[in-house]
Amino acid sequence: MKFGKEFEVQMVQEWQEAYMDYNELKSILKNILKLKQQNKPQSTMASVTETTTETTKGTMNRRASLYRAFSGLTNRYKPVSSMKSHEDEVIFVSSVQEGGDEGRYQTMFLRSGEEGGELELLFFRGLDDEFNKVHKFYKKKVEEVMVEADELSKQMNALIALRIKVDNPVVGGTDMVHLSDHDISSNSSSVGGKHGITQMDVIEEEETESEEISGEETKKPDDTHFKTDPSNVLDHVKINVELEDPISILRSVIQSSIPDVSFGRQELRTAEEKISQAFVEFHRKLRFLKSYCFLNQLAFSKIMKKYDKVTMRNASKIYMEMVDKSYLGTSVEVTKLLEKVEQTYVKHFANGNHRKGLKTLRPQAKKERHIITFLYGFFSGCSIALIVAIIENIHARNILKSQGRERYMANVFPLYSLFGYIVLHMLVCAGNIYFWKRYRINYSFIFGFKQGTELGYREVLLLSSGLSLIAFAGVNSHLDMDIDPRTKSFRTLTELIPLFLLIIVLSITFCPFNIIYRSSRFFLIRCAFHCVCAPLYKVTLPDFFLADQFTSQVQAIRSLEFYICYYGWGNFRERSNTCGKSEVYKLLYIVVAIIPYWIRFLQCLRRLYEEKDNAHGLNGLKYMSTIVAVAARTIYQDEKTTTWLVLAAATSGIATMASLYWDIVKDWGLLNRNSTNPWLRDKLALPYKEVYYAAMVLNCVLRLAWMQQVFNIQAMPSLHKNALVAVVASLEILRRGIWNFFRLENEHLNNVGKFRAFKSVPLPFCNDYTGDKTI
């Protein structure tokens, strides 16, 4: 792989604008090379006439040099190459002071008068701009991590004091925590050096309390080690109380205030989890920063070597000497911090187990396994074979025109359609993941997946193909048992097949054992629980993203309602039900369709309350209009009156216009009139602009699918009503898949624009009651 491609692969995507623009500089060198190649034919004729004489002279010079080298005459004189003067230099690099501080690095090109010198001058101007950009960004980030290291040191000091207070509250201060030889105040508010490097080194906990309590010598008063009492540290520390669960939120609402939290074992456990997570994220940031420094240095070295090769000059040595002497080449703070963080984490969070600690700090990238590709290919092939078998059974026995067709479509088809909706959504999700990865959209960071646990598109295809296999197997066996005269007496068992499949799926989903991607299953369950409990949980992107998926699975939720009615109160043994005649079922039929939009409405209210952004209030109004539209359309399906027709059409039209505007303008960031890309946005992840225009048009068309339900548009009169509902629901799932890609692309580009490459981890302690701290 060429360096340019490798450079793009290795860079932190959220920092990509801060990296050296290697391709731009390379394009300038290509222009220089083209210019030299164009001017080369002009001197071809003159060079041909001198070829013969130069060849003979070259032969004689080689012979003379061989003779002189053998006779030792060469050693009497210095070679010409070693007698270089300043006239042979190509560039001169200097640092221009700005405002009393270290300013910009500027390169003076000394051969601008030569042919093609203007392009070379342009190259060095661009090179200086790129280096100053990289240098400024790196220095700024190093200063930020130093401040964060200082804050982490204070947090660790408070955590160690809390550990000793909880585990052994009777022990005095001289038996608690000893710091290194640095002059550090015992007050936690003053803990931390200028840059935070020393603080990772000063915090040490007693290895065993028994060693100091036993017959060791008492430390002299003039000992350089300074001891502190944990009570002194905790007097200046307050635990950040975060309302993370519904019980704590309801309690705070009832009490109208947040009660003070004592320093107990539960608080200690929570503090350890948060600081451990902060250390992992901080270590990741340091590794990325170290990689950023190395990659950019390598890029400058590569581009200067290309310059020397194209122009036949020797300027790379001088320029790289400047790079090596700059802050980018001499800074060692990040390397030292990495060592201190690893030592501290291994000691305090891994019980001294170096391998265990580094395994957490440096998680290995997930390896692709061929067995996954084989299995989802095998399951997909079996599913296709079952589809062919089902079609053959239907065609050979003329089931579509049989008397039991209407009963089958009214009672059995809704049961199996649930699995179809889920499989289709999983296939769309697999496609999203594939294109996110292809166009380098950092979906794992945006969703907050732990490295190595996120599912790739192959894993999602494996799950979807496995689910489709058991679903089609159930349909095929259902048809066979229903038609075969030998199994007609087993009607109860035949009708229970869909219920057995649903129980299997739910059992796998909630299985507590570490099989079938448990971490991903539990992540999904946790997000779904947060959605159900809205607005009692803080709304994060995975929560409202999943709630948006639920809004496209209304028919799947209604299928679950039908399961309960069909097997609970319906006469499933005779393949009949009276669900449609029940007023309770009709009411719930509306309610379950509204629930996903109601969840999003409550999430918008929670975000409006916390972030004070009016945009969330407008988004909530959009979902409220959708709730009204869904209710009106559902009621119209039963009433079939002109009044409800007008209400359904009007409310659906308003909701559709609001949703279209929010999809394209807010969620996708498109339709920007002043954009460099007409009616799109300035930054695009996809290289083809036509895809964005097509996606906007397709989103508008699919948003109008409700018109079929309201105006009873029958594109295929022979299609059953339930089958038509399934087709419309499938189109909505496909629309959601398109929305998913561009929604996450816009989120990724926003992160890139703000250089957000790391999660904000809330820290458990605040010093001197200054409030919440995050890293």
Tokens of 535: 């607005």
Q: Hey, what amino acid is at 769?
A: Y
CA distance 660 to 589: 26
pTM given for the model: 0.82
Give the pLDDT of residue 353.
87
Give the pLDDT of residue 460.
96
Is residue 186 within 8 Å of 225, Cβ to Cβ? Answer: no
Q: Where are the alpha helices (DSSP H) in 350-369?
A: 354-361
The residues, any chain, with a CB within 8 Å of residue 193's CB and separated by 6 or more, are 150, 182, 184, 199
Residue 577 CB coordination number (10 Å): 22
Give the pLDDT of residue 41.
60
- 178 has which bridge partners? 204, 227
| Mean pLDDT of each 10-residue bin along the chain, 775 residues long | 85 90 91 82 49 47 39 36 49 68 74 72 90 93 92 88 76 36 34 39 40 41 47 73 65 57 77 90 93 94 91 87 90 91 90 88 82 95 94 80 81 93 97 94 90 90 96 90 70 88 95 93 95 91 95 94 90 84 90 95 95 94 95 88 91 94 95 91 92 95 84 71 91 96 94 82 71 56
Q: Where are the alpha helices (DSSP H) in 612-681?
A: 614-639, 642-661
H or E element in which residue 708 lies? helix 706-711
Is residue 111 within 8 Å of 117, Cβ to Cβ? Answer: yes
DSSP state of 449: P
SS3 252: helix
Conformational region of residue 216, where left means phi above 0, alpha means psi within -120 to 50, and beta covers everything else: beta
CA 710 from chain centre, in angstroms, equals 40
CA distance 619 to 608: 10
Give the pLDDT of residue 79.
39
CA distance 292 to 578: 66
DSSP secondary structure, 268-330, as one string: HHHHHHHHHHHHHHHHHHHHHHHHHHHHHHHHHHHHHHHHHHHHT---HHHHHHHHHHSHHHH
Give the pLDDT of residue 98.
57
CA distance 542 to 319: 47
Q: How far apart are the first and last CA of the chain?
A: 36
Give the pLDDT of residue 195.
40
CA distances in angstroms from 98 to 148, 152, 403, 418, listed in the order given: 28, 33, 89, 67
SS3 162: helix
CA distances in angstroms from 641 to 207, 296, 635, 636, 646, listed in the order given: 80, 69, 10, 7, 9
SS3 237: strand
Give the pLDDT of residue 184.
32
Give the pLDDT of residue 94.
76
CA distance 430 to 740: 11
SS3 224: coil
